[in-house]
Amino acid sequence: MRVKDYMTTAVFYLKANRGLVGAKEIMGWAHVRHVPVVDEKRRVVGVVSHRDLVRATAVPNQADGGRNASEVWSVPVEQVMSRDVRTIAPDASIRQAARAMREGKFGCLPVVDAEGVLVGIITEHDLLWVVEALAPDPDAAVDVDSGLAVGRRNP
């Protein structure tokens, strides 16, 4: 099982100078929690997560010199993105991806080709699909006579 078999290839990404509002919009309409940030050649330079947005947009008290709400959304994503990004190749195994995500505590891994160009993303959600596909169905019964697994039907 390879990353390329489970990754999302229609990946949304941002340039580093784009405002946080761009990340918020993508996360909202694409229903994603991680957006890769790329350079002009689509090489990954960071990832902005939903958590990064929450931290960055918690508006501090104006008396403390904080930004107002409208200023916060214009902050470039490069100021809040995670730069310590681990990437993975499409031909890497799902096991390698899961291990890298667990050990690095990453919610996603941008998938890059041999030239380092973004070609997809694999997320915790994608790995749950793998687990679901591989996990035995506890509601399945085995027909001893035929050796076939028979699933329970829902009405």
pLDDT of residue 155: 42
Under 8 Å CB-to-CB from 25, ≥6 apart: which residues?
Answer: none
Write out the E strands in 5-137: 14-15, 34-38, 44-49, 108-112, 118-123
- In the chain the domains, ranked by start, together with CATH numbers, are 3-150 (3.10.580.10)
On the question of pLDDT at 144 being above 70, the answer is no
Across 50-64, average pLDDT: 73
* CA 84 – CA 106 distance, rounded (Å): 10
For 87, half-sphere exposure in the C-beta direction (CA atoms, 13 angstrom radius) is: 22
Across 41-64, average pLDDT: 82
- 69-91 pLDDT, tens digit each: 667 888 889 998 999 899 999 99
- 3-15 pLDDT, tens digit each: 999 999 999 999 9
- 90-138 pLDDT, tens digit each: 999 999 999 999 999 999 999 999 999 999 999 999 998 888 888 777 7
